[in-house]
Structure 1
Amino acid sequence: MRTHLKGINIIRRRLATGEIRTYYYHRATNMRLAGEPGSPEFLDSIAAAVEQSRQRDAGTLGGLIREFQQTAKWRRLAESTKNEYRRIFKFWEDQYGTCPYPALEDKAFRRAVIKWHDAFSEAKPREADNRVTVLARVLSWATRDGPLKRNIMDGFERAYQSDRSDKIWLPEHVDAFLRVASPEMKLAMVLALHSGQRQGDILQLAWNNYDGERISLRQGKSRRGKIEGRLVTIKCTRALKETLDHLPKRSTLILTTKTGKAFKKRYFALQWEKTCREAGIEDLHFHDIRGTTVTMLFQAGCNLGEIVSITGHSLRRAQDILDKYLARTSTMADNAIAKFENVLETDSAKQTAKQDRKNHAK
């Protein structure tokens, strides 16, 4: 039986006698490991290799990155964020992993990083920004709580600028989306519009979060990518309640794939983008729905306190959204929220429930 050992290279050699012998090497240090996998000797060898790796990159950017991954700040990050950071860490380690502390505080290091950022951002501005932002975050931690005296990357200028103040899902967009959407994407739309929650929280929404009248959940991501842990309780609209009450429970999660499995973040994004293309919707994102929900709640007469108790935004963020979005929606009728509610009850939420009942009956 073949097994995969993380961080271990497996080399097989044929001896002069014809015997096949297997050797194990610690990938980061290229140290040969003694014993067989799982044996005390093998585990001791791994521990020695890890210690050597730590000593080897002590005082360098690579060492800082490993130290950062031992902090409470790191542990509070969502797992998806950790995976993204690891991907970016690998890039910076390949580029500057052996840079010592003094070099990390030198303007020459900043110039080199900015030069790379300026060149790479011509084709991929957001990716360039993300990589430098992650590097700057590690250096910021090392300046505040670690061995560095200053964060040389503080205040770098981003290449990607996004103003989505005019990006909002209007009723015609919702109708177009629902006409071509699969039952799973319809349900995602209804959950997003009626709850105002982030995509990640909706994908994790479980049946035990719904008591038949309200949805209670502890939100995951804050604006800075930390685990916020804010508990919000949302009273279900009639449309959302009817939709949920008639959905078959194929999983512990409310929103699943057609086979009843949890959506992977990337797969959900692909399905959402595919539906938008088929509906002829351009330059509208899933997260734009939250701004729509905030705006419509305000037009329905909710004050800021009531809005943030539903969406989980901060008061300041909710006000910022309204300042941007109300200019776009000022021509909508005063009863927009009522129309929004009625449209979803008759043309989406109920259709979603009825379609699911038909599919379940089959």
Structure 2
Amino acid sequence: MRVRLKGINRVKKRLADGSQVVYYYAWKGGPRLKGNPGSPEFIDSYNSALENRRVKPDGLLQSVLRKYLASPDFLGLADKTRRDYSRHIRAIEDDFGDFPLVALSDKKARGEFLEWRDKIGLTNPRQADYRFSVLARVLSWAVDRGDAPANPCKNPGRLYHSERVDSVWTPHDETAFYERAPEHLHLALMLALWTGQRQGDLLALTWAGYDGRRIRLKQKKTNRRIVIPVGTPLRRALDALKSKVSSHSDALDLSSSTILTTQKGKAWTEDGFRTSWSKACAKAGVADVTFHDLRGTAVTRLALAGCTSPEIATVTGHSLKDVNAILDAHYLSRDSQLAESAIRKLEKRVESPN
């Protein structure tokens, strides 16, 4: 007599040698079943999975995910990060919400999670890495608090590798943007190039954060407080705009108003700014670079001006490690100006050793 098992999830996978295999799971996100379909081993494996599934709710991964969403660790994240995490946690719960916490200690658990990540990575490796890192963070949080016995998702490596060694704004890109992009977006470009700050922090910057000499802000992503001396070109642009805006606003309103605004003088939403910026770049003929690339471009410009890594870090808010990584791996390795500067310094040293 043939036994019909409910909820079996059948997954095809292509191996490195090109052959195709089929794996069977007790349900979507459930444990992989042993043996061939219909065999006693297969049925015993299925029954064992069902038995483990009948664990009280507190013993399931779902409970840890929901506790994390109510934790100060999650609530202290930036708004955008919380939205991203929430989206990924919902997806994790759909796939692994009924995963028994006790099974996290099983040596095979890591393989199950990595296969899940790799399956997502077939179509979107960057999203696969992000989702897996969210799960790893939640499990690390849970282990620290005694809510989970182990974190099998530690140090997984990455599927996605960015190839953005040329992704810096060139002087030509900058000139083209100023000449062809809408005027109300010019200051956003200048602020990014002279401060090296993230888009979200610049959109949130108010006039209260600028005293005529320095910009003070708290980075949302790191909670790091930054004080940036304002260079002359940027100061002239800010002072001119402040004078213009103050003639239409009282001092109280001005201090709480954002510096960067839409053409109608309203504060930007992140989505609205992103859309307008993309259209402006297309109109200016600026391609293959993003607003985020301005942060690395600022690091590069400061280095070319002779700034040390600690000096750059105090301006942009990067750690020293991140500054050096940017300079080494992404930007300066391809910049001929830096090579020219190095040779000029060497010539000066050789010709005038004293």
Q: Given the two structures, how large is their TM-score scaled by the length of structure 1?
A: 0.70
Alignment of 1:81 onto 2:87: no
Per the TM alignment, residue 109 of structure 1 is displaced from its structure 2 partner at its CA by 4.0
Per the TM alignment, residue 208 of structure 1 is displaced from its structure 2 partner at its CA by 0.3
Identity %: 41
Per the TM alignment, residue 71 of structure 1 is displaced from its structure 2 partner at its CA by 2.8
Q: Deviations over 1:94-121 (max 9, x none)?
A: 2221222123333444334333322222
Alignment of 1:239 onto 2:233: yes
SS in structure 2 opposite 1:281?
coil
Q: 1:256: which partner in 2?
A: 261
Q: 2:287: which partner in 1?
A: 282
Q: 1:308: which partner in 2?
A: 313
Q: 1:98: which partner in 2?
A: 98
Q: Deviations over 1:217-261 (max 9, x none)?
A: 12221xxxxxx3322221212211111112143761001222222
d(CA) in 2 for partners of 1:270 and 1:284? 15
Q: 2:334: which partner in 1?
A: 328
- Letter of the 2:213 partner, please give it: E
Q: 1:199: which partner in 2?
A: 199
d(CA) in 2 for partners of 1:246 and 1:117? 51
Conservation of the 8 A alpha-carbon contact between 1:61 and 1:104: no
Structure 1's unaligned 5+ residue stretches are 1-54, 222-227, 335-362
Structure 2's unaligned 5+ residue stretches are 1-54, 342-354
Conservation of the 8 A alpha-carbon contact between 2:102 and 2:149: no
Q: Deviations over 1:191-213 (max 9, x none)?
A: 10111111111111110001112
Per the TM alignment, residue 262 of structure 1 is displaced from its structure 2 partner at its CA by 2.3
Equivalent residue for 1:319, pick from 311, 318, 324: 324
d(CA) in 1 for partners of 2:326 and 2:101? 42
Select between 320-329 and 129-138 the one with higher mean Cα deviation. Answer: 320-329
The residue correspondences of 1:113-262 to structure 2 (distance < 5 A) are: 113-221=113-221, 228-247=222-241, 248-249=244-245, 252-262=257-267
d(CA) in 2 for partners of 1:211 and 1:231? 16
Equivalent residue for 2:277, pick from 272, 291, 295: 272
SS in structure 1 opposite 2:59?
coil
d(CA) in 2 for partners of 1:56 and 1:204? 45
d(CA) in 1 for partners of 2:91 and 2:169? 37
d(CA) in 1 for partners of 2:136 and 2:223? 25
Per the TM alignment, residue 171 of structure 1 is displaced from its structure 2 partner at its CA by 0.3
**What is the Cα-based RMSD across aligned positions, in Å?**
2.2
